[in-house]
Every structure is written in C-alpha cells, then in structure tokens.
Chains A and B, each alone.
Chain A
Amino acid sequence: MQSITLPTQWFELFGLPLQFEVDPVVLTQRFRALQTQFHPDRYVNQSDTEKRFAVQATSLINEAYAGLKNPRLRARYLLEQAGIILNDELDTIQDRDFLIQQMQWREAIEEALEDAEPLDALDQVGDEIQAVTLTLYSEFAQVWALKNLERAKQIVLKLRFYERLQEEIRRQQERLDA
C-alpha cells in the first residue's frame, strides 16, 4: 500500500508560497482536491486505523483552510512561522491615535443603534470598518514583503480590534433581529 505524508504547515499543505497574498480560487481548488482525496467518506470500507488517519488528515486540512481563508489568521500564522507568537489578550497596542479611533468606532456603533433604521446603519458602519481593514491587509502585505516584522505584528494586533468591532456589529444585529 502506497503511503502519503501530509505536511502540517498550512502553506505547504496547500502548495502555496509563504506570502500574504493568496488567490482565493486556487485556495478553494486545493481545498477541494485535498478533501476529495482524504475525506473520511473515502475510507468507509477501510480499516479503523485508516479511518482514524482520515479524520486527522481532514481535521488538519479544515483547520488550515479556515486559517488561510481568513486574512488576519493568515497574517498571524505567517508571523508565527517567522518566530513571532502573538497573544491576543496580553499583547497591547501603544498607538494612542489608534486607540482613540477605536473609541470613535464604538461610538459610531452606538449612534447607529439610535438610527431609525439601525440594521442598515450598522451595515454601513460595518462597511466602513471593512474598508479600513482592507487597507491594513495591503499594508501588511507590504511590510511582510519587506520583513518589517515589528510593524507587521502591530498590524495583526490592530486587525484583531477591527474584528472585535465587526463581531459587536453582528451581535447587535442579531439582537435587533430577534
């Protein structure tokens, strides 16, 4: 029986270069190809050992896919590969302007809640935050390419703040829907 080894490093597993930019079409294609080969459905008539391996292999594939699909997690993973481990709870941002901006975004969300059409108003704030997030992505791609790891780290920490804002918007929208 032929034996296959699966790399556990996300980019290697998906046959992608170790860089921030990822072609979503290629990513999805690779994901499907890997799943088609290793999904437990392909192993229902095999031994228990092989079934177990299939579960482990697809767990890894799913985790890598989810991580690579999400730009913040992808950036974070790249930093980890470069030896920089982030702690979302403990690492802090000193950038005062940025923190004041965050406060203003929170206020924008609160104002949106007072709007006559709060769901739409929240959507709009979400879109604005998304636009800022997109510029941070391209900034990350640049500093990563220049190997400016400290700045890259700061960007990833900032991205977490924007993600939390989006989570808050979602939570509020769900509450309004219910």
Chain B
Amino acid sequence: MIEKGKISLVQLNILVMLFSLGSAILIVPSALSSVARQDGWISAVIGVALGAGIVQMLVILDRQHPGQSLVESCETILGSFAGKLVGMLYFMFFFLLASLVLRNIGDFITTIVMPETPIQAIHVLFLVIIVMGVRLGLEVIGRASEIFLPWIVVLILVLVFFIIPQIDIDRVQPVFEMGMNKIMYGSLSILGIPYFELVVFLMILPYVNKRQKAGKAFLAGSLLGGFVLILITCLSITVLGWDFTARHAFPSYTLAKKIRIGEFLQRIEVMMAVIWFLTIFFKLTLCFYASALAIAQVFKLSSYRPLVLPLGMIMLVMSLVVYPNIVYFREFSSHTWTPFAFVFGFAFPFMLLLLSKAKKAVGK
C-alpha cells in the first residue's frame, strides 16, 4: 500500500462536498444561465439528479474491487498493458484537472481581487501550500477539511441570509420559457463541473474506514454540494437576473458584492471570497493528490511523496500555458470540457464496470 493513512466517513463526506463546490461555485451559475436563462435553476436541479446517478455508478464500480484504487483495478480488469495505459490516461486527466483548477483561482484573483499582481506569483503561493498538503498525506487533508468546514458553512449562511432581502422572485418568470431542450442542455454544464470530475474519489475510497458505508457518504457529500450549487444558482438568478449572471465570469462573487445591510454592512465580498479559496484549495489538493498517487501506482513506486515536488513544477508551467486568455477559457469550458470529462468520468468507468461484471460472470 502506497498510502498508509485512513480517513473517516465524515471526512470523506466533507471532502466530497468541498470538492463538488470547488471551482463549480464560481463558474457554474454563469454557464447555466447563459444557456437556460431564468430556468437555469431547473437545469441545476436536473443536473444534480443525474449527477447522483453517476456517483452511484462510481460506487458500484468501486465495490467490484474493494481495497483497490481506480488505477489498480484498471490493471486487474484490463490486464497489465492496457491497464497501465488507461492508468496513465487517468493520471493525465487528474493532473490536467489540477492545473485547470489552479488557473481558475489565479484568474479569479487577478481579475477581481488583485489585478496588478502577476498571475505567476499567485500560482506559486497557492501551489506551495498544495504541495505541502499533498506531501503530508490523506489523513492530514481529511483533518484539515474538518477544521475548515465550519468556516465555510458559516460564510455560506452569512451570504445567503444577507442576500435574502434583495431577492426579486419576478426574475425567475416566465418559468419553462426556454423549453425542455435548452434546460437539459444547460444541465450538461453542471454534470461536467463537478460531477464527471468526482471520479477522482475512486483513488481515495480505498483509504476510507468502514468501507461498507463509504458509498453512502460519497453520495451524501455530492448531494450536499449539489444542493449548495442549486442554492447559489437560484440566488444569482433571483438577485442579479439571468442576463447579469450569464455575462459575469464569477457571478457568485458579484452576488456577494450586492450584500448591503443598512449603511454599515457592505463590501464584505472579499470575506466571502474565503469560501472559494477554501473549497478550491481542497479540490486542488485532492486532484493533485490523486494524480501523484495514480502515477506512483502505475509505475509501482514505494511512495508517491518524492514525485510531488517535480509534479508541482510541471503543474505551475501547465497552469500558465493552458488558457492563453479568458475567451479561450469560456470557449473551452462551454464546448470541450463536458464531452472530455464525460469520457473519463462516465464512459471509462462504465466500460470498466461492464468488463469486470462480465469477467466475474465468465469466471463462475
């Protein structure tokens, strides 16, 4: 076993929730309402329901080979060569996902909070803490999530309660104006970020205590995260209006800017930004951790830890190269990401599940 640490069910639950909030809480409301307009919240509900189905499928796949991570079970199912090939593809997927998430937080800070700071400086600072976390291992990440959860919950509650006075329910009308087709198309974006990405947790499930209940905790965490995403989408649409939500790159931040209680409680959006820093920190750490573990398992190393620092160097360059500009990012996330993530988050796992069932049936 490369990773000797264990995390508890509660920690898994929290990690899944924070992961599914991750960069999605920044990006998803705008993607949803640019397609389904004021019906974006319906897309979110449908997307979360479909996402629960995907998570259930991942849990069933995990039960086929208890104690083996995704990369290891690939080798059991597909044989040595093809298994290693798929394992390497998954390494690249996790690693790319980590670079993209790092770029998300870099773009967020340089466009909104600190426009004059070079993006490299922010990436280096963020990466240092991620590398530290990943080197310390899964147990530490799990415990850190327990420490930070109350802060995130309190901040989300503050955001929701202080924005309630500004809700204008007329903004969701007319309901179902866009028709079922566009609503369904909108829900694809919430499937792409974060539900297809949850495949990362197949690398972590083997290290959970009481494995029998791990599936339930996984599902519950993803539903909780989905609920918060639906909530933020509803608030963005009812407070900002769909057109404003669609036009902004980070509508949930604009939402926090709107908080205004009397003359004394306003401009607290940077405090709210702590929500995104913390959730993105956990998403990034888990993606990076999964990618380091994946490559270590493919090459049968005794530990993933020596690889973390070199991988961090590659990731820094990668995160700077991936999006030449913000238009490229919008185009990539609206057209390319969902089908690409579908291959890794649904098609491959489903194929593996079928093959492993078939193998077991033939074996009997």
Co-assembled chains A and B: no
Chain B residues within CB distance 8 Å of chain A: none
